Structure 1
Amino acid sequence: MIQIQKIKFNRMFFNKLVIFLSCIFLTALFPLRDLHSVSLPKENWNLVLYGGIFTTTDLIPIVFRQKTDYKESYIGSLGISRPFDYRIRWFDFLWEGNVTKHFGEMNHWEVNGFYIVKIDRMYGSPFSLSLGEGLSLASENPKLENKAKGYYLDGLQKDAIESRALLNYMMVEFSSYLPFERKTEVFIRVHHRSGVFGLYCPPDPNCGSNFVSYGFRTTF
């Protein structure tokens, strides 16, 4: 049983290590000297609306293997976003803030603020890919982010998971502009809260949650 727990922890650590190394790689590939101000068109504010369902699956399996294990806990989110007037090569930058309501197995509020890097209209297509990073503050310690000692999923949990109201926020999003419409996008987003290697809560095992979400964004 101890060996099973060790394998599970190593897999979680590997998943997070991949994200960390990817960030380092992108920083080296696109150094700060390539950062420059550009004359982007003055776009209006964006309205963002989406809903999602809780999954116990980690972020990496969701994104790369589309593996999910859902629970009856849901979110509805309303937010605004706006682009910055600079870019790094083909990367655009935005910020977003949203208010999220939980219902189902959890029933609390959540506020999120984060920066977004976006590859807009990849290869001239209507499709875009975005990654967001920031902070998430819940009105209470989210129930499903806390797990008692014992069996959980495919391995033995050594310690209880105690989450926090304030955690790191991260989102991965794939979006598409509507046909004949350049101002409205529909998207699928992973809404992710994380303890970031023990920065916000004990790392063994780590705290956090994922919601697979669907929504739209439009200018106004």
Structure 2
Amino acid sequence: MILNRNLKLFHQKPNKILVFLSIGFLFGMFPLRDLQSVSVPKENWNLVLYGGIFTTTDLIPIVFRQKTDYKDSYIGSLGISRPLNYRIRWFDFLWEGNVTKHFGEMNHWEVNGFYIVKIDRMYGSPFSLSLGEGLSLASENPKLENKAKGYYLDGLQKDAIESRALLNYMMVEFSSYLPFERKTELFIRVHHRSGIFGLYCPPDPNCGSNFISYGFRTAF
């Protein structure tokens, strides 16, 4: 695997601050007068297929330090995506829906729907960077998202992490078009479910999961 090892820093306060500052800096780069929607042609529907492995490492260490700590839990995902008919400067917008099957230590189904902002073909290269945000609904409370934490007292577990079937969905993706055609992309994606600091489940630490995933997307 390309990315390798650990996942809990995303819900610690310094990293929350870093994320919000980064978002603020990103939007601060563009004056409001530059954020104009321009019409772009709708392309074909895309088929999305990928598989991944569970990691206990948080999102921030995965993306910025390439650290992971894997478990024997896997996903296979089949979905469709389609571009929206507008863009803001060099940001393209899409939507995607997928159905995901878990196997290994977890054995349930998951449905995800989300919007994507994409920097397509960065600097004229075949490489693209995408960020997705939406909702994720599992067919049951995912076992590996329920983590024992704290201490034991007379057989009672204190401060356990209890997840939920419905959580926020987020994905970070790096992709590349095939060199001999322009309709197929290979990608590496972090498939991320999150309670968003207590919005969906009790915080400190938050519930959720990450899967390091590899797949392709092609027009049809």
Residue 88 of structure 2: aligned partner = 88
Q: Give the alignment's TM-score, normalised by structure 2.
A: 0.88
**Structure 2 contact 141–163 (Cα < 8 Å) conserved:** yes
Residue 23 of structure 2 aligns to which amino acid in structure 1? C
| Gap change, CA 1:32 and 1:105, over 3 Å in 2 | farther
Residue 14 of structure 2: aligned partner = 14
> C-alpha deviations, 1:186-209, integer Å up to 9, x for none?
000000001111111111111100
Shift of 1:14: 2.1
Cα distance in 1 for residues equivalent to 2:214 and 2:10: 31
After TM superposition, list the pairs within 5 Å mapping 1:108-119 onto structure 2: 108-119=108-119
| 2:66 is the counterpart of 1:74 | no
| Gap change, CA 1:149 and 1:39, over 3 Å in 2 | closer
**Structure 1 contact 36–86 (Cα < 8 Å) conserved:** no
| Gap change, CA 1:61 and 1:102, over 3 Å in 2 | same
| 2:100 is the counterpart of 1:100 | yes
Q: Give the alignment's TM-score, normalised by structure 1.
A: 0.88
Residue 3 of structure 1: aligned partner = none
| Gap change, CA 1:207 and 1:11, over 3 Å in 2 | closer
**Structure 1 contact 53–75 (Cα < 8 Å) conserved:** yes
After TM superposition, list the pairs within 5 Å mapping 1:131-146 onto structure 2: 131-146=131-146
**Structure 1 contact 131–170 (Cα < 8 Å) conserved:** yes
After TM superposition, list the pairs within 5 Å mapping 1:198-209 onto structure 2: 198-209=198-209
**Structure 1 contact 35–87 (Cα < 8 Å) conserved:** no
Q: Identity of paired residues, percent? A: 89
| Gap change, CA 1:141 and 1:134, over 3 Å in 2 | same
| Gap change, CA 1:194 and 1:11, over 3 Å in 2 | closer
> C-alpha deviations, 1:161-217, integer Å up to 9, x for none?
011111111100000000121000000000000111111111111110000000000
- SS at the partner of 1:38? strand
Shift of 1:85: 1.1
| 2:166 is the counterpart of 1:188 | no
| Gap change, CA 1:60 and 1:9, over 3 Å in 2 | closer
Residue 116 of structure 2 aligns to which amino acid in structure 1? I
**Structure number with higher helix proportion:** 1
Unaligned runs of 5+ in 1: 1-7, 152-156
> C-alpha deviations, 1:47-91, integer Å up to 9, x for none?
000000000000011111110000000000001111111111111
Residue 149 of structure 1: aligned partner = 149
| Gap change, CA 1:89 and 1:176, over 3 Å in 2 | same
Residue 27 of structure 1 aligns to which amino acid in structure 2? F
Residue 172 of structure 1: aligned partner = 172
Query: Across the two proteins, how many residue pairs are aligned to each other?
Result: 208
Cα distance in 2 for residues equivalent to 1:131 and 1:214: 15
Residue 57 of structure 1: aligned partner = 57
Unaligned runs of 5+ in 2: 1-7, 152-156
Cα distance in 2 for residues equivalent to 1:24 and 1:140: 36
